[in-house]
């Protein structure tokens, strides 16, 4: 639809026409605000936390584990310098060989959610799977943060 509209605008005489290739859904998926009747629905971005430990792929696990010990979570996210998510280091791995590099022991391809995911739906999904947190990424795979089920449930019941 979008490229077709852009071409038609050019045919009408507009000289500077651009197609937002990723489309409308890309904007809120990056945690950016929207307008309209559905814009008020609470979404993952309203409880987004940026306090999860991140690690460089070549970083020794022991070094990461020390940071995780001082964080609210039991895992670390392994990311590239531009914040692209490569994987996750779980509690058991963090307690393992401290000399291992993060990239050697990470869990590749952890499931992620988008920042515009409705809270109620996401809380239910996490609850049904017995999960307490979810990693939030942008459509291009960059880590935006983490959401906690407890935060979602509190928000949905009006506790904060």
Partner 1 sequence: MPGRVDLEGLRALLARGAQLVEVLPVAEYTDEHLPGAINLPLRNWTPPPPARLGWTGRARWSSTAGTACET
C-alpha pair distances (Å), 71 with each of 43, 51, 95, 135? 24, 7, 15, 15
Q: Quick check: 21 binds partner 1 (CB under 8 A)?
A: yes
DSSP category for residue 76: E
Q: Quick check: 24 binds partner 1 (CB under 8 A)?
A: yes
In this structure, are strands 112-113 and 133-137 parallel, antiparallel, or unpaired? parallel
Beta carbon nearer to partner 1, 12 or 92? 12
Q: How far is the CB of 118 from partner 1 (least distance, A)?
A: 12
The 34-73 contact track toward partner 1, x by CB under 8 A, reads xxxxxx----------------------------------
User: How many whole angstroms separate alpha carbon 7 and alpha carbon 21?
Assistant: 13
> Interface residues with partner 1 (CB under 8 A)?
1-10, 12-24, 26-28, 30, 32-39
């Amino acid at each position: 639809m979008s490229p077709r509209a852009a071409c038609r605008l050019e045919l009408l005489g507009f000289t500077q026409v651009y197609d937002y290739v990723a489309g409308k859904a890309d904007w809120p998926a990056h945690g950016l605000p929207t307008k309209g009747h559905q814009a008020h629905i609470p979404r993952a971005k309203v409880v987004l936390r940026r306090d999860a430990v991140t690690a460089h792929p070549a970083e020794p696990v022991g070094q990461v584990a020390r940071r995780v010990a001082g964080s609210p979570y039991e895992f670390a996210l392994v990311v590239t310098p531009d914040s692209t998510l490569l994987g996750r280091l779980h509690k058991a791995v963090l307690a393992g060989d401290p000399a291992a590099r993060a990239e050697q022991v990470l869990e590749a391809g952890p499931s992620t959610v988008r920042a515009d995911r409705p809270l109620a739906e996401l809380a239910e999904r996490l609850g049904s799977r017995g999960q307490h947190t979810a990693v939030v990424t942008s459509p291009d795979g960059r880590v935006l943060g983490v959401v906690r089920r407890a935060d979602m449930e509190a928000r949905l019941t009006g506790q904060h």
